[in-house]
Structure 1
């Protein structure tokens, strides 16, 4: 039980987290975020009601909690997520009879500003991959792995969590395709090209056997000690390799996903095909990359055209 909260409130948080875990379809990261959000909400409730019970959770309490977040400088995306967390929690409370009504039903959502993500130019992406390939020429296991990490992220546009979750059996080398399990446990097939295939072959033949241990399991990508490679290590690999390319923006793994989507659309790929490749549930999310492409075209036009 959460000792930071009084028992009457902590028990509801504990049972809510169990519900999220059993319900499935949410990642461990999402569950942690919801847990943190609701813990702060219940702490806010306790601060205003010394003997607080869950029945004291009202629309006014929710609004004052969010207002406090605004005052403390929380970003719009954070406010939107916390509003979503509160709605999910309150709906669960009402549905399970812990509250006689849903106080969050009339809670307004914070509108998020969709910003254009930084992306590599096509030539910069080639430089990144060339640098990774050059580092792998000595056939050192870690260098072979790092090359494959970069090739797969850029070739497929998969998320870092999806990459780290890949098993050896998820790779179809004949069709050059990955079986990827994305958000909501939705499964999709994502193709990759010849450079990624070459990197994968070198890794499976030379790199992985050198790092594998009896307890490595089926993980495709391994760390230095033989365990499954984690997102933090992938972020380090991407950041350090991209940083070595002059003029390239500072990117995390998601930046390679953005770059892959942008370059696919600039190359003439259909929007719905890109949606399927990226695993977006909504086409509106994929359409963000069309705005990125237009912005890049406008910037090039303004730089090159004499009457721009």
Structure 2
């Protein structure tokens, strides 16, 4: 990290989401509402799935882990963002920046891979129902759950290893409200064309391939259920529609951010805000609102403890 004049960047100054005080106040209230209402809802989903003996199917096992990943992901950016609203100078240390970047991609990629696992689970349940209990046994579920964590770690550690080799000697003004790959790389004191290309392949291409693979898999599932009974068809359609909504919420912003040259666009901060703060808290809630079994279990849990 040292240069010829021995200047070393030890901290980055975050520009923030906006310079408008009124918009900052609106965003602060919005994020606070999400944290006070929706975040506890994610933990309620986890508690409901773990406490209800009727929710032991692999779908709910993976959904509980998705809620945990989303809740963990929301702690990476939003708490610091809330604190920075009261600071005139938003400063993050170099190590803090790298740490935030690591967990952002570790948990983000882990969630993306988990959605792939959930798509596989739905494919087996709908297209191979006679073999479902054999294939998706408890041991297989735990092995499949391990894959997103390993995949997310490998993906993120590659990002961090590449960035740690870059020299940072100034400027240190980061045009965002968080530390992310596109903005951090642009501050390096060297030609970053090759590095940007590697990052696009590591993040952008991977995200795009996952999205296309998931859409194809759900298209196959929907084609297979067309001849099913009306009840089974309705339930499969509802589940697949929910999954597809989450897929677009998860992968759409990721493709916009990482699948193009790292040039600043007016929409970058808004997309990053939705991708890192809003959508992670909404994902499990969308699942819950469209799942009758979980809604019934939540009501039962409330009656047991409040009646």
Q: What TM-score, normalized by structure 2, do the two folds share?
A: 0.24
More helix by share: 2
Q: What TM-score, normalized by structure 1, do the two folds share?
A: 0.24
